[in-house]
Amino acid sequence: MFTYKTQIRLHDTDAAGIIFFANQLVIVHDAYELLLEKFGFSFPQMLKGGKYFLPIVHAESDYKAPLFVGDHISIKIKVGHIGNSSFIFEYEIRNRKRLVGTAKTVHVTINPRTKTKVSLPPKLRAALEHYARKS
């Protein structure tokens, strides 16, 4: 399972010093980007003339406990589903061993020129399937 580690920074929090709700999705997106890089798919490559792009078409996030400036967290990502043109990532956010949040993102593969759905590229499908078996 892929694990991304980070720390809650001041700019991640609201006036009460607790993580601002939208920033939980920002942090899981950071983890998502690094996992794609591990698969060999970077956003710079996709944005500079790639044949497909992977927008998020649905995102949800649940908060189980507050996070504060300085908290060290880890985000674990697993593949929730692989479809013809889409896939789902599920995230667990932990502060030490305590589950403090969960999230889910649904991604659809599109042609960047036409903005229409296309099948998952074989190399990406293979990476997702391989990762799903290891998780």
Instruction: Supply the CATH number for residue 58's domain.
Output: 3.10.129.10
pTM reported for the whole predicted model: 0.92
Q: Could you give the C-alpha distances from 98 to 35, 41, 53, 83, 95, in angstroms and in order?
A: 22, 31, 34, 31, 5
Based on the residue annotation, tell me whether 14 is a catalytic residue of this protein: yes
Query: Domain total for the chain?
Result: 1
Instruction: List the domain range (segments joined by +) for residue 99.
Output: 2-134
Cβ proximity of 15 and 98 under 8 Å: no
CA proximity to 64, closest of 16, 18, 113: 18
Residue 10 in tokens: 């001041």
Q: Pick the catalytic residue: 14, 30, 62, 71?
A: 14
Q: Tens-digit pLDDT profile for the chain (135 aa)?
A: 789 999 999 999 999 999 999 999 999 999 999 999 998 888 888 778 788 899 999 999 999 999 999 999 999 999 999 999 999 999 999 999 999 999 999 999 999 999 999 999 999 999 999 989 877
